[in-house]
Structure 1
Amino acid sequence: MVLRTARKDDNVEITDESNYQFDTNYELFTAGLVIGFLRDDPRTESKGSYSQDFIQVNRVGGSSENEYREGIEFIYKLIELEHSDDNPDDSELWELALQYADAGVEALNQDISLKGEFDLLAFIDEADQKWEDRLEDVLISE
């Protein structure tokens, strides 16, 4: 699903760049994190064995103003806020973020497999419908 990753793989011949929905792993991770978080569906069975090779957020882009890093940190802060009563440490919160991202990436992959294309408008519509309720859940649980 990631063009830059495919270009690095010697065994992949890229004939049509439009077959890759994301240019970087940062894009895929951020999209997966948002979708997984919105659906409030962390993929707990992924712990320690993720479908993608995720990295720590502090390694994203090198600048705190990186657009992917900002999006990831925003969702991470919402996760932190939602679980503040549990007093989790940073590693537990990051683990939950990874599980959300993995669930979201799997949802993207399934959707693309079913439809044969990346239906960005469907995901935007879903986000539009779920965002307010999900944000309310986070703020009320705090």
Structure 2
Amino acid sequence: MSTTARRLKTARFDIYRNMVLRTARKNDNVKVTDKNDYPFDTNYELFTAGLVLGFLRDDPRTESEGSYSQDFIQVNRVGGSSENEYREGIEFIYKLIELEHSDEDPDDSELWELALQYADAGVEAINQDISLKDEFDLLAFIDEADQKWEDRLEDVLVDQ
């Protein structure tokens, strides 16, 4: 996957500011009193979690298109190493998106746009879950992924 032009972006910077420690610390209007209030350390950690969840739910946030207020980092720079688990996760889900839409012959920018929409949808879902439970329920997130993974992969790979 050529990642030179792909950048992590979001239309939901408000959520990143409220859930990502490094983003909150960079924001002049946010005072970080307890770093444990932030379940994610970096933007790309939250982006990756959102991308996985959004992809598994197969419900992209189409409202994000054209309204990205924040541009974080190029995919090929995530984690600083080509073996970074977050970069590998992003690339893996992107490949699945590419496979799922291979019969439509979309260009790379259309596929990346869909990935961004999946990520924003997942980030919104994580934010909503945290709002309801007052904490990031990692076990529930893993359980949902475990339940949906096989069916979602089957949907993607059935026509291949």
TM-score computed with the length of structure 1 as normaliser: 0.93
Matching of residue 58 in structure 1 with residue 52 in structure 2: no
Matching of residue 109 in structure 1 with residue 127 in structure 2: yes
Partner of 1:19: 37
* Inter-CA distance 34–93: structure 2 relative to 1 (3 Å threshold): same
1:141 shift after superposition: 3.4
2:26 and 2:56 map into 1 onto residues whose CA distance is: 31
1:81 and 1:71 map into 2 onto residues whose CA distance is: 15
Matching of residue 85 in structure 1 with residue 99 in structure 2: no
Partner of 1:40: 58
Structure that is richer in strand per residue: 2
Q: Which amino acid aligns with 1:49?
A: S
Identity over the aligned pairs, expressed in percent? Answer: 89
Partner of 1:10: 28
**Structure 1 unaligned runs (5+)?**
none
Partner of 1:126: 144
The alignment of Structure 1 onto Structure 2 pairs a total of residues equal to: 142
Supply the RMSD in Å over aligned alpha carbons: 1.4
TM-score computed with the length of structure 2 as normaliser: 0.83
1:65 shift after superposition: 1.4
1:99 shift after superposition: 0.3
* Inter-CA distance 75–88: structure 2 relative to 1 (3 Å threshold): same
1:59 and 1:92 map into 2 onto residues whose CA distance is: 21
